[in-house]
Amino acid sequence: MTTTSHPKYWIVVASKDHVKNGIAAGIAQAGHGKLSPLKRMHPGDFIIYYSAKLTFGELDKCQEFTAIGKIKDKEIYEVQLSPDFSAFRRDVDFFPHHDISILPLIDQLEFIQNKKSWGYPFRTGSFEINQHDFDLLSNLMLIKNKKG
């Protein structure tokens, strides 16, 4: 089997206010609008946002996973946001979810190898995670429709 037949799972780091704007617009940006993180993602891949901060440029801690979704298509496009700033984006189907704290999950997440310096992996801004970690996070985040 080829690796392209299986989805990949990604963590992207952004402040919670930026994540909520992205959910409303149905888009993903990574690394302040950089192209390279989005190029690694493919249609059918899953994305989870982690927010260390509530507000971009502020010191207010969030430390939560704040969005979960699926990459919709192959098109990456550029948007001119101001005369001197443009950002690359991809369309995402975001799922109804609960924001969840990372703190009780640190020992269970395999991408965090050094549990004392658990914030280290997030410094890259985006990275791939394994299915175990995605399943753990998605099972806690996704809002299940309960009938009956």
CA atoms within 13 A on the CB side of 107: 1
pLDDT value for 20? 97
Which CA distances in Å does 139 have to 19, 76, 136? Answer: 20, 29, 5
What is the mean pLDDT of the segment spanning 69-78? 91
Please name each of the domains of the chain with its CATH number. Answer: 3-141 (3.10.590.10)
Please give the DSSP secondary-structure letter assigned to residue 28.
E
pLDDT in tens, 79-130: 998 999 999 999 999 999 999 999 999 999 999 999 999 999 999 999 999 9
Give the pLDDT confidence score for residue 74 in this predicted structure: 77
Residue 52 contacts residue 62 (beta carbons within 8 Å): yes
Counting Cα atoms < 13 Å in the Cβ hemisphere of 96 gives 3
The two tokens of residue 147 are 């009938």
Residue with tokens 């791939």: 128
